Amino acid sequence: MKQTAHIRRRLGSGVQIVLVGALTGALVGVLVSLYAALAAAAEDFARGYYRFFLDHPAFVPLLFLALALGAIVVGGVVRFLPLIRGSGIPQTEGAMRGLMRFHWYRELTGMFAVSLFTIFMGLSAGGEGPSILIGGALGHGASDLLRRNALIRRYQITGGACAGLAVAFNAPLTGMAFAFEEGQKRFTPEVFFCAVSAVVVAVLMRMLLAVPLGLPVGAYFSTFVFSDFTPVFYAYVLGAALLTALLGVGTYYLIFLARRLFKKLKFWKGTGKFLFPFLFAGAAGLISLYAIGGGHAFISDLGSASEASISVFSSPLWASLLIVVVLKLVATVLNMGAGVPCGAFVPMLAIGAGLGALLSLLAQAMGMDPAYTDMLIVICMATYFTAISKAPVTGIVMTVELTWNFMFLLPAVMGVAAGYLVGDIFHTKPVYERLLDEMLEEEDKPMLFAARFFVNGTGMAAGRRIRDVLWPADVRITRIERGEERILPDGNTLILEGDVLTAEGEEKESRTVLAEIIGAEVP
């Protein structure tokens, strides 16, 4: 009877999680699809008026005046809403793990509006990172509206974040891989089913809205042509991946060097630092239109199926590629260093793709078949992203889903492995995790607590091992009392109904979450 009741509770809880995940996915699918359409329109508009200034140089001072005013406006909004700084990914990760709380409606509307504004102003900014925060905030909001408990809210935030990236890239597996690998860093059945239901419904909503909103319906990068390759191609992959990974690690350290320097800038109460990325964006956009926006156009035009050609000031191809890569790299470092509310996901992919194109020219001079060029570009794109993010599974899945091609799966694994290995050699942390750590350090120190909880049938912990429970990130289970026995637990320790668990944590809210997971707190 006891086992039957336990199964019923688990099934009831599972159905609830799937339903709230589906609701979250529906909301995310609609709003992020709308956001993606507006971001594409804003980027196209920015390209249009930058062309106007290129054709009418006398009006260029007006451009920089507008950019300076835009920097002041964004700086003011960020002072009022500090949790919309940067791409929004670290904040969402913090909310997933129970380390950070935000007012979902404020952060959602703030990130939605300000990130679109940065794209409209011509910054090297994408919408994919903000889509993760928008999705996570919608999950948080849906949980609040349904009056779900704190644990279910974390599931919904994770599901919403998965769905946000899935809709932005039209890549459901990439969204799930990134949220699990970079966000939760652990796997539980509840999180999985919430994420699956959210992603499936969100992608279906995107499919329904794609034509009315003018969103692409095929592969995110559809211009790459892949050919059969011989074993000698792996030598070029390894060499290019190692060089790309080294440059990725260099970018990583440049980002945090820029952050340290910008923290020292105090004029206009710290908002003056936004002038640097905004004014640089203006100069970069006048040099090359490829510096505007996330970089989707640049990546697509690198593909051999594209009819466009990469050209800056009628320079040779290698020089044009180098100029665009440098512009995107400096812009990305400045944006992330200053904390501009904009996405860096696609700009990083664009830098990696540009490096791949440069290295492919070098490889061709050494005898590589030009037919391998597109494959090398995509592999370097994934390698560069992995070297910075330290998310290898996401890098592998992403290369397949964004191109809809499995031919280069093994070379992609090699490239991503090289990116991860080089990052590990230089002791880098995942970039978004380090950004989250810095944000948490800026907050007030949380209250410490130690409490005992009785394991009963109302919670989710009974019958599971320690490692299989989604604990709040700040919590440690230090002791289990089982009758007269005292157990020092590890990840493999099985939790039984009737146990008394001693937990230590930092956040006051974690006590409430623990009561929901385990059972009643022992006075």
457 or 285, greater pLDDT: 285
Residue 272 has pLDDT above 90, yes or no: no
For every residue of 445-488, DSSP letters joined together read PPPPEEEEEE--TTSS-TTSBGGGS---TT-EEEEEEETTEEE-
Q: Does domain 15-213 have CATH number 1.10.3080.10?
A: yes
Rg of the Cα atoms in the chain: 24
Domain ranges (residues) in the chain:
15-213, 233-440, 446-522
Strand ranges of the sheet holding 500-505, from the earlier edge strand across to the other edge: 485-487, 476-482, 500-505, 449-454, 521-522
227 burial level (CB within 10 Å; 0-12, 13-18, 19+): middle
Least confident of 65-69, 171-175, 265-269, 385-389: 265-269
In angstroms, the Cα distances linking 340 to 130, 274, 429, 452, 477 are: 11, 7, 21, 43, 38
Whole-number Å distance between alpha carbons of 328 and 156: 34
In angstroms, the Cα distances linking 174 to 7, 138, 336 are: 32, 19, 22
Instruction: Take residue 473 and report the two structure tokens written for it.
Output: 């990130």
**Of the candidates 196, 255, 509, which has an alpha carbon nearest to the alpha carbon of residue 388?**
255
Q: b/e for 494-516, b at 16 or more Cβ within 10 A? A: ebeeebbbbbebbbeebbebbbe
Task: Kindly give, in sequence order, each residue whose CB lies less than 8 Å from that of residue 208, ignoring residues fewer than 6 positions away.
Answer: none
Question: Phi and psi at residue 483, in whole multiples of 5°?
Answer: 70, -125
Biggest CA pair distance of the chain: 85
Mean pLDDT of the chain: 86
pTM: 0.86
Using the 8-state DSSP alphabet, how is residue 416 labeled?
Answer: H
With beta carbons less than 8 A apart as the criterion, state whether 186 and 93 touch.
no
Whole-number Å distance between alpha carbons of 147 and 444: 28
Residue 38 has pLDDT above 90, yes or no: yes
Per-residue pLDDT, averaged over 269-291, amounts to 91
**pLDDT value at residue 399:** 86
Render pLDDT for 118-135 as a digit per residue (tens, 0 to 9): 999 999 998 888 999 999
Task: Kindly give, in sequence order, each residue whose CB lies less than 8 Å from that of residue 399, ignoring residues fewer than 6 positions away.
Answer: 378, 379, 381, 382, 408, 409, 412, 416
For every residue of 140-171, DSSP letters joined together read HHHHHHHT--HHHHHHHHHHHHHHHHHHHHT-
Render pLDDT for 72-92 as a digit per residue (tens, 0 to 9): 999 999 988 888 888 888 888
Instruction: Take residue 332 and report the two structure tokens written for it.
Output: 């990305």
Q: Please, what sign has the CA dihedral across residues 332, 125, 28, 175?
A: negative
Give, in words, the CATH class of 446-522.
alpha beta
What would the CATH number be for the domain defined by 233-440?
1.10.3080.10
With beta carbons less than 8 A apart as the criterion, state whether 140 and 176 touch.
no
**Of the candidates 34, 7, 69, which has an alpha carbon nearest to the alpha carbon of residue 268?**
69
**Of the candidates 345, 424, 10, 367, which has an alpha carbon nearest to the alpha carbon of residue 166?**
345
Residue 470 has pLDDT above 80, yes or no: no
Residue with tokens 């920097």: 71
305 burial level (CB within 10 Å; 0-12, 13-18, 19+): exposed
Render pLDDT for 384-438 as a digit per residue (tens, 0 to 9): 999 999 989 999 998 888 888 877 788 889 999 999 999 999 989 899 888 988 8
Q: Do domains 15-213 and 233-440 have the same CATH topology?
A: yes
Render pLDDT for 303-349 as a digit per residue (tens, 0 to 9): 876 656 787 877 888 899 999 999 999 999 999 999 999 988 899 99
Instruction: Take residue 221 and report the two structure tokens written for it.
Output: 């990068």
Instruction: Take residue 166 and report the two structure tokens written for it.
Output: 């899935």
Helix axis angle, 89-96 to 128-146, nearest 10°: 30
Whole-number Å distance between alpha carbons of 289 and 45: 12
